[in-house]
Amino acid sequence: MRGLPPTLAALLVGCLPAQAQDPFVDAAGIVPGLVAEMRYAGSHNFVGRPIAGYEAPRCLLTAKAARALANAQSDLAPRGYGLKVFDCYRPTRAVADFVAWAADPAETRMKAEFYPRIDKRDLFRLGYIATRSAHSRGSTVDLTLVRLGGGGEVDMGTPFDWFGPESAPGWRHLTPSQMAARGVLRNAMIRAGFRPYAQEWWHFTLAGEPNPATAFDIPVR
């Protein structure tokens, strides 16, 4: 389900025809009312600084994924919910940046917020950091629910990018309202054509994505 190693991905991108060099759209122009807090373009993330390849706080996706996300947004609106995105397309250089960060056990400035009960040395073994990411194909999105009318984020049981078993969609110790909220998000995304991910309630990949074997390294600008 994930992309390719950064070095191979860069070679593939370099071989793409000219018309494929900009394969993404800005989801904000496709999904009415979409809220965006692009975490890796700033410092509020598990690394604690902007991540390589994120030069602007934009949610870039393939057009097919953006249209599907618009369908999910429309599905949720009658229930009083909307979508807030944290990450969309992710350049392979960003994946490499995560890998380099994870290989440095001394850098733990954001541990208390994002992985307080996980030893950083175990992030690879536990699958929280990997050398490839589905995000690099442009049809995967990390997101949550917000209440329409400025009500803020819905309580999903953990924050986005929480490293721990609590982030699994079906974690047993959620409150009934947290479990219901995860179900609302999951069901809306599935109806729109996305597949959920077993370890993270916020992570969804479009089924039938247009670039299933290509990881891109185009910077987010």
Query: Which tokens in the block code for residue 132?
Result: 């490839």
Question: CA–CA separation, 38 vs 152, rounded Å?
Answer: 16
Note the residue count of the chain.
Answer: 221
Bridge partners, 54 (sequence order): 220
CB-side neighbour CA atoms (13 Å) of 165: 3
Q: Which residues are catalytic?
A: 200
Q: Are strands 81-87 and 35-36 parallel, antiparallel or unpaired?
A: parallel
Query: Which tokens in the block code for residue 6?
Result: 């950064």
Residue with tokens 């909220």: 181
Q: What is the rounded (10 degree) CA torsion for 111, 147, 209, 137?
A: -30
Question: CA–CA separation, 196 vs 52, rounded Å?
Answer: 26
Query: Which tokens in the block code for residue 7?
Result: 């070095």
Residue 44 marked ligand-binding: no
Q: Which residues are part of a known binding site? A: 135, 142, 203
Binding site as annotated, residues for Zn(2+): 135, 142, 203
